[in-house]
Chain A
Amino acid sequence: MRRAFVQSLCRLAAQDPRIVLLTGDLGYLVMEPFQRQFPDRFFNAGVAEQNMIGLATGLAEAGFLPYTYSIATFAALRPFEFIRNGPVMHNLPVRMVGMGAGFEYGHAGPTHYGTEDVAVLRTLAGLTVVIPADPAQTTTAMLATSKLPGPVYYSLGKDDGAVLPELAGQFELGRIQIVREGRDLAIVTMGTLVREALAAADELAAHGVEACVAVVSNFNPDPVDDLADLLANHSQAITVEAQALSGGLAACVGTVIASHGLACRLKPLAVRTPPDGTSGSQQDRWRKHGLDRAGIVSSVLATARGACQ
């Protein structure tokens, strides 16, 4: 989604001279199109993410529309307090991009994993959190949120090749998208894991389980009504996210179920264990945490068996 992000940003910047881009020394092979087109509106803040968010807040106060770019964990966690006291408390239109959410930097090891960015930033009421699932949805989401008066955080995947035709690039704030219908169970997921959920649903169909797949692509506002409608019609739901169990998608879905008094049993698949020092590919990390298609299938089948006994 990196290319989709830069292309969309260039498109927006061509129309809006107030857009500036700041990066924390992570522009190489990503930002060049923007830098070439708008050299005066590109700033490398160096490896200093707190100051980068501070600069962006000052620029936004003076009427600019700054986008900041870094790896998800450095974009979200390092400057967390300043995101709270800066763009959020001042309600300024700073756009923060965290790249490589979840386990996309798998081989780089746990210091580079973005397994808390969404869960942590979702705690900030007033900060719209956007988690596109593929390049087309990245573009739609960026255009749909570019004019919001307040701050936005985008948790993006790197891969521009993983396209979801089922999603058709749809995005709407406060809404979910259903990319597969199924009456036995609802799989609620987000980001790059949507494709694993779809593959798992195909495999489950071979076992006679018809799973619906719902995509959550934004929080604050949370898609409460859509989730309540969906889960009122399912007795079982499973959430799949490459995020910490606390605070992320499972927390949102669980709150909707409980607060609406729905008769739906939730099985949350998330990152439950601290890093053990091993590293590997994203696929390998998903497998390790039971988030890949095989993990989803076995978890659903185990739950189904448990329900029958």
Chain B
Amino acid sequence: MFRPSLSQTELEAKALRIRRKIVEMIAAAKSGHPGGSLSAVEILVTLFYGVLRHDPSKPKWEDRDRFILSKGHAAPVLYSVLADCGYCDWNSLDTLRRLGSVYQGHPDVRFLPALEASTGSLGQGLSLAIGMALAARLDGRPSRAYVVLGDGEIQEGQIWEAAMFAGARGIDNLVAVVDYNRIQLDGFVADILDVEPLAEKWRAFNWHVLEVDGHSIPALQNAFAEAEATRGKPTVLVAHTVKGKGVSFMENNPKFHGTAPTLDEMQRALAELV
């Protein structure tokens, strides 16, 4: 099993390495979604280095925890974390979105067996995660299911069908993380279709709700530990994040939801990410 106990300094170094790679691979592809990848870096680094029970040498190990990136457009953060763990090749990450690359525009399990699901159409990953959590319960396995949702994504109705089911059935080997970066494709979530009051919504669906700074690795670690200790309810982390985190001109800028940096912008971003 791969559950390394890294120091905060080591985890922060991982986060920085991942951030730089996200910018590089999207710039190389000349298309992609940097903002929502950069906002989710600490969430994925915390999960893959110390929370998830997984084994890069055995991607289909039966007792592994499941991770689903339901906001599939943030594929670059997932690809670079998987590559850093050793599931796939780090050096070819820059082939993102190219014909023949395993790094498809949205995660596709046919190309990367380390993935649990192909995602990209929003609103569908939570149901899948619940099915996997339910399967572990039926089988008496220790597996837990983790799913990362976008804040725009949860405007989809299927999310709330799934939330209602998991809450009503008390599926407690399930954790959802809302990457609450407050920006969706067309602009600010609050202007387009506000999801507030967000914590209360999940609470009303019978979830255990934790509000957390989504860029604080210790805060995320504590929240995931509390989720694991919670019985009788699924847990959701409302992770307050900054879209484009780490690159000044991308932060809180709706333009970088779905626009690749130019080569010049990439250089400026990399100069900041040190």
A binding-site residues for B, Cβ under 8 Å: 20, 40-41, 43, 45-46, 48, 50-51, 53-64, 66, 81-82, 85-86, 89-90
Contacts and interface: CB of A to CB of B under 8 A. Distances in A.
B128 A40 contact: no
Given A40-B138, A46-B165, A51-B158, A62 B128 contact: no
B156 to A, nearest CB: 9
Contacts of B120: 85
Given A82-B124, A90-B109, A90-B117, A59 B134 contact: yes
Contact of B128 (A45, A57, A63): A57
A62 B141 CA distance: 11
Contact of B161 (A20, A43, A48): A48
Interface string B57-90: 0000000001000000000000000000000000
Listed residue (A46, A55, A59) with the most chain B CB atoms within 10 angstroms of its CB:
A55
A64 B137 CA distance: 12
23 contacts: A40-B138, A45-B165, A46-B164, A46-B168, A48-B162, A50-B127, A51-B127, A51-B161, A55-B127, A55-B134, A55-B162, A58-B117, A58-B132, A58-B135, A59-B134, A60-B131, A61-B116, A61-B128, A61-B132, A81-B121, A82-B121, A82-B158, A85-B121
A82 B89 CA distance: 30
Given A61-B128, A90-B117, A54 B135 contact: no
* List of 4 A-B pairs having minimum Cβ-Cβ separation, nearest first: A58-B131, A54-B127, A62-B135, A48-B161
Contacts of A64: 135, 138
Listed residue (B109, B130, B158) with the most chain A CB atoms within 10 angstroms of its CB:
B158
Nearest to B119: A85
Contacts of A60: 131
Contacts of B132: 58-59, 61-62
How many of chain B's residues touch chain A, expressed as a range?
A: 20 to 34
A86 B124 contact: yes
A147 to B, nearest CB: 19
Contacts of B136: 62
Which label, helix, strand, loop or mixed, suits the secondary structure of the A interface? helix
Interface string B167-204: 01000000000000000000000000000000000000
Nearest to A94: B131
B164 A63 contact: no
B139 A62 contact: yes
Contacts of B117: 57-58, 61, 90
A55 B130 contact: yes
Nearest to A45: B165
B157 interface: yes
A216 B205 CA distance: 46
Contacts of A57: 117, 127-128, 131
Contacts of B126: 54
Given A82-B124, A90-B118, A54 B138 contact: no
B43 interface: no
B132 to A, nearest CB: 4
A54 B139 contact: no
A30 to B, nearest CB: 21
Contacts of A56: 131
Contacts of A63: 135, 139
A40 B164 CA distance: 20
B129 interface: yes
